[in-house]
Amino acid sequence: MKLIKILVLLLTLISLTGCYNYKELNDSAIVSAMSIDLDEDNPEKYKVGVQIMNAKKKENNNVSEIAFFEASGLSIYDALGSIVLSSPKQLYLGHMEVVVLGEKILKQKSPLDFLDFFMRDSSAEKDAVVVVSREKNASDILKILTPLETITSQNLKASLFNSADFSGTTNIVTLDELISHLMDDSKEAILPSVELTGKVNKGENIDNLSDSDPDVRIRFSNLALLKDDKLIGYLSNNESFGYNVITAEAGNTYIKFKCDNENYATLELVSLKTNEEISFKNKKPFVNINNETKTNIVEYNCDLDLIKDDKIIDEIQKKAEKRIEYLMNDFLDKAYEEYKTDVLHYGSTFYKEKRNEMKKYGYTTKSIKDDIKFKVTSKVKVDAAGLTVKSINNKEDKRER
């Protein structure tokens, strides 16, 4: 009898679908990317756009269609709530991969004013990559159907990872990293940016997909600099690279330099290490940045014969060292001299390690950045020269013949 009672209870439990938190996958809209802008009509409101991956099944095949919904509200959640009015499904933020922030909103407002929702909501993805849309609205980026992949945000994320790996001029910043950087005393952060090239209005069209050379492309631009929670400017190519070298994130990238008067050589970076030593010299803060790099020669368009002349390697190494030092200095000048920012967070590093001296010489974590002197040294080692020991541009060989 007891068993029957338990069985009946269990059956009721199941048949009434009182199941805790049970929800079907296809009743939810999987948000892959989100754009946040300021509403142009009402500057108090945020304009939030979401890209939904599983909007609809395409006829004939099992590929989903991507849809874009947009609405404005006084808070992020308010805007998302308005989106639900136009979308038949509930939004699910657990697989959000990219958050695009508009350039305007970053210039006018602090991200800390509106990003609280992402840290508070249990289902929202904290690992989403944050990018700045350069010169355009964030929603414009998401509206472009991209030629390479079926899902815009995945394309964005994949090419961001690729370019961070290969070109070294972008950087990957996730939502939680951005927030923790901004919560630091210096309130400074670096973000990658994207821009649109071509005729923007055509991109929303499905024809953009079928062209092999589409009218509109999404292209990664250089790093954006945030000071006091606001966007103040962009770094150049060289400066972006310098930043990545100092933070040792330019792992698989390359450097190029002139090896004679007209031709260039390219070195592939195999491993990159950067040490920082901080100290006080003459009562002034001093940072010594030591870089150690291992490289392979991937391209050498000048005269080269490693068999005859092994000192040439030293020469190449010296040239590369010069180049890397130049790149790092370039970034440091821009960030610390021109913009007076402390994106490398030396303020807090000094506070952690040299607190007593800091107090003695009357610096605070905020003020110390203006007086820091840098010394940059680089050591490059060429590990391999590829398959040939001579370059095809070898002049001596030609003479002999």
Partner 1 sequence: MTSSNKREKIVNTLKEKTNNAPDIKYKDFIINKQNVTFIYSMSVSSSTSINDFILRRLDEEKGKIKDENIYEYIKNFIPNNNIIPFDKKEDISYYVMSGFTVAVFDDGRLLAFENRASIYGSISKSENERGLKGPSDAFSENYQFNMGMIRRRVKTEDLWIDEKTIGTKSKTKVAMFYIKGLTSEETIRNINEKLDKINIDYVGNTNYILEAMSNTNRFILPTNLSTERPDFAAQMLMQGRIVLIVENSNEAIILPCLFLDFFKNPEDYYEKGLNVIISRTVRFVAFFLTVFTPALYISLMAFNWESLPSGLLISFSVQREGVPFSSIFEILVMSLMFQILRESDLRFPGKGGSSISIVGALVLGQAAVEAGVVSPITIIIVGIASVSSLAFSSIDLINACRWWQLFLIIMAWMFGFVGVLFGSLIILATLVSQSSCGVPYFSPFEPFSLKEQPNVIIPTKKEKFHPKNIFKKDGRKEK
Residues that bind partner 1 (CB under 8 A): 10, 13-14, 19-26, 28, 30, 32, 53-54, 56-57, 62-64, 92, 94-95, 97, 123, 125, 151, 154
Q: What is the dihedral of CA 128, 132, 138, 143, to 10 degrees?
A: -70
Joined tokens for residue 109:
């407002």
Minimum distance, C-beta of residue 57 to partner 1, in the bound complex (Å): 4
Nearer to partner 1, 92 or 336 (CB): 92
- What whole-number distance in Å separates Cα of residue 73 and Cα of residue 291? 48
Minimum distance, C-beta of residue 287 to partner 1, in the bound complex (Å): 41
Nearer to partner 1, 7 or 384 (CB): 7
Minimum distance, C-beta of residue 121 to partner 1, in the bound complex (Å): 12
Please spell the DSSP secondary structure of 283-348, one letter per residue. Answer: TEEEEEEEEEEEEEEEEE-S--BTTT-THHHHHHHHHHHHHHHHHHHHHHIIIIIIS---TT-HHH
Minimum distance, C-beta of residue 127 to partner 1, in the bound complex (Å): 10
Q: Strand ranges (DSSP E) for 148-304?
A: 189-191, 193-198, 216-220, 224-227, 230-234, 254-258, 264-281, 284-300
Nearer to partner 1, 18 or 362 (CB): 18
Q: Strand ranges (DSSP E) for 84-168?
A: 90-92, 98-102, 129-133
Nearer to partner 1, 98 or 259 (CB): 98
Please spell the DSSP secondary structure of 355-380, one letter per residue. Answer: HHHHHHTT--TTTGGGG-EEEEEEEE
Nearer to partner 1, 151 or 332 (CB): 151
- What whole-number distance in Å separates Cα of residue 94 and Cα of residue 141? 21
Nearer to partner 1, 29 or 38 (CB): 29
Burial class (CB in 10 A: 0-12, 13-18, 19+), 285: buried
Nearer to partner 1, 57 or 107 (CB): 57
Minimum distance, C-beta of residue 75 to partner 1, in the bound complex (Å): 24
The residues pairing with 373 across neighbouring beta strands, listed in sequence order, are 286
Minimum distance, C-beta of residue 151 to partner 1, in the bound complex (Å): 7
Minimum distance, C-beta of residue 364 to partner 1, in the bound complex (Å): 42
Q: Beta strands 284-300 and 264-281: pairing type?
A: antiparallel
Minimum distance, C-beta of residue 64 to partner 1, in the bound complex (Å): 4
The DSSP 8-state label assigned to residue 251 in this structure reads T
| Phi and psi, residue 11, nearest 5° | -60, -45
Nearer to partner 1, 37 or 125 (CB): 125
